[in-house]
């Protein structure tokens, strides 16, 4: 205590600052960094959760390279990313752009669009699963049959299953993206639009030359945030394909679900860790791309 009392005010502030920072630092070291490092080490080992770990070298990665199921799952994961990110961003921007110009019931409409984001993924997945059921249970097939269209096998078809799961995943994230886009639109100074209208600039030119360039930081954030979300998709797939996990012929299985099944169904923790390292690498590359884009800006 005497030592603390002899410190200057500036040094006391530093001590208190590090005291408060010690809690999040401890959290990230114990909860984040240590498990990540341990998973990387485990990817070079064999372990079934019960026995002792044994060194396997690169065997897990060699097995991963030659596993056709992994490459199928890897392709599915990027299909979620390639289809989900641009579709969700375009839809959310169009809604936000028009909603920003709406004054009647603006707050109510914004809350309604944000509501799916607040709904739990499990409940939402089971509701959409009910929508996709055949006649007489499923809503969509009942609507199709009422107009004379044959039933569609949404979740039981290798070609329809992935888009059918992607649809509720996109719908679930629209609310958050709309709110972020609206915040970006509100941050653009009105004087830019007023000057453009005085000069007789068309609405399309204003959108292309003013709105979109000034929304670049918002778009970059949402692209990366959405990309990471689709690369880590799990809840919708797990709950909508419980009868056939991963869909027919693994047509909907993402990498996160493969990791889950490898670890907790096959109890091959080393092989699951190798898959986790691959997913971590992909996520890291996406983050580095974000930093590069921001640096270019």
Domains of the chain, start order: 68-296 (1.10.3720.10)
Q: What is the pTM of this model?
A: 0.86
Fill in the DSSP letter of residue 248: G
H or E element that contains 281: helix 269-296
What secondary structure does DSSP assign to 24-75, as a single string? HHHHIIIIIIHHHHHHHHHTTEE--SSS--EE-TTHHHHHHHT-HHHHHHHH
Question: Which residue has better confidence, 107 or 217?
Answer: 217
End-to-end CA distance of the chain: 50
Query: Confidence class of residue 14 from pLDDT cuts 50, 70 and 90?
Result: confident
Q: Which of 71, 64, 66, 61 is nearest to 253 (CA)?
A: 71
Q: Give, as one character, the DSSP assignment of residue 211.
A: I
What gap in Å lies between CA 54 and CA 236, rounded to an integer? 35
Mean pLDDT along residues 44-64? 91
Question: What is the number of other CB atoms lying within 10 angstroms of the CB of residue 77?
Answer: 23
What mean pLDDT, rounded, does the chain reach?
88
């Amino acid at each position: 205590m005497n030592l603390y009392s002899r410190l200057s005010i500036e040094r006391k502030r530093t001590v208190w600052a590090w005291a408060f920072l010690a809690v999040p630092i401890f959290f990230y070291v114990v909860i984040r960094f240590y498990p990540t490092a341990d998973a990387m080490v485990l990817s070079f080992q064999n372990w079934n959760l019960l026995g002792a770990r044994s060194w396997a070298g690169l065997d897990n990665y060699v097995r991963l390279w030659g596993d056709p199921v992994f490459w199928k799952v890897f392709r599915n994961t990027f299909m979620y990313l390639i289809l989900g990110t641009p579709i969700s961003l375009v839809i959310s921007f169009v809604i936000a752009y028009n909603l920003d110009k709406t004054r009647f019931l603006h707050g109510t409409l914004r809350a309604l669009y944000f509501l799916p984001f607040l709904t739990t993924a499990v409940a939402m997945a089971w509701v959409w699963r009910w929508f996709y059921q055949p006649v007489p249970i499923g809503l969509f097939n009942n609507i199709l049959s009422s107009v004379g269209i044959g039933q569609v096998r949404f979740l039981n078809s290798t070609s329809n299953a992935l888009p059918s799961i992607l649809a509720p995943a996109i719908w679930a994230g629209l609310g958050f993206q709309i709110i972020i886009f609206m915040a970006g639109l509100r941050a653009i100074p009105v004087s830019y639009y007023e000057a453009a209208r005085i000069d007789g600039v068309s609405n399309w030119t204003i959108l292309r030359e003013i709105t979109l360039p000034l929304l670049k930081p918002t778009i970059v954030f949402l692209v990366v945030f959405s990309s990471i979300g689709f690369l880590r998709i799990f809840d919708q797939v797990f709950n909508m394909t419980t009868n056939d996990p991963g869909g027919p012929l693994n047509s909907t299985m993402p990498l996160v679900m493969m990791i889950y099944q490898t670890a907790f169904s096959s109890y091959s923790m080393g092989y699951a860790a190798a898959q986790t390292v691959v997913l971590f690498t992909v996520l890291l590359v996406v983050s580095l791309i974000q930093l590069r884009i921001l640096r270019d800006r």
